[in-house]
Amino acid sequence: MSTMTMTATTAAIPAGRRNVARILTLEARYEFLKLLRMPAYVVPTLAFPLVFYMLFGVALRQGPRGPLDFPTYLIATYGAFGVMNAALFGLGVGLAVERGQGWLLFKRATPMPPLAPYLGKLVMCMLFGTIMVSALFTLGATAGGVRLPLATWLSLAGVQIAGAVPFAAFGLAIGYWAGPNSAPAIINLISLPAAFGSGMWIPIQMMPGAVRKIAPFLPSYHFAQLALKTIGMDHKEPVGQGVAVLAVFTLLSLGLAWIGWRRDEGKTFG
């Protein structure tokens, strides 16, 4: 980017450089502040996983340590659910709204690095995910009585937060196909059943057979299984399988987003 800028440096522009790292940092910081000041995003993103965890993981758990350790299982899956939702809403609704307002078009007319708004939003989702996961872990370790080695806590958090990437990609696709008003509804219609059917709210082992048959076709199921693997409560499928499914899902989502972007460009500007 700076090389392009330098070729433009003529008599009219004295030496000056943009700092792409600074642009991305500002973009992420302001995306974060933008949503932090928006209760309609913050409350569902941060509070839902915590409230659900208190209900299903702590209040309704079977016995102190039944055949399935609910508080421990659900700390993995509610964390995954929370990150998934933060990414879907953060990218999907955020882009649909800014696209509808003409704000993205304005930014495209500036010399902004083309990927900056998307990367900014991804980092913002991961920050929200980190806050949510930290709060959930605190709740688990206190009210839930969950005991895990530090390394396990960290690897669980790492898997959960990395899960923002595929779902942010899917959110990007939704952001380019849905309108500003329909985007939240579409995301809820997709994410709530997907979370339920992937064993994120109630352990997959307790689901009816039909749901368990469908689950492997859901990217969210594989995300949940990867999170559960860090605490040894997964279905023992190979790591590579889950990662491969999510990688393909990410690429398909990016492809869909790209088609939507082209379509959008065709409609608005082409």
Binding residues for other proteins, per CB under 8 A? 1, 4-5, 7-14, 16-19, 22-23, 26-27, 30, 33-35, 37-38, 98, 100-103, 105-106, 108-113, 269-270
Instruction: With CA atoms as reference, report the closest residue to 154 among 132, 137, 141.
Output: 137
Opening angle at CA 235, ends 245 and 192, nearest 5: 60
d(CA 56, CA 37): 29
d(CA 121, CA 27): 8
Cβ(223)–Cβ(245) under 8 Å?
A: no
Length of the chain: 270
d(CA 202, CA 197): 9
Q: Which is nearer to other proteins, 12 or 150 (CB)?
A: 12
**Smallest distance from other proteins to CB 85, Å:** 20
Tokens of 175: 């952001």
Q: Which is nearer to other proteins, 9 or 142 (CB)?
A: 9
Q: Which is nearer to other proteins, 30 or 217 (CB)?
A: 30
**Smallest distance from other proteins to CB 25, Å:** 9
**Smallest distance from other proteins to CB 12, Å:** 5
Cβ(178)–Cβ(92) under 8 Å?
A: yes
Interacting residues of 100 by C-beta distance below 8 A, sequence separation 6+? 179, 180
**Smallest distance from other proteins to CB 131, Å:** 17
Q: Which is nearer to other proteins, 103 or 217 (CB)?
A: 103
**Smallest distance from other proteins to CB 103, Å:** 6
Q: Which is nearer to other proteins, 6 or 214 (CB)?
A: 6
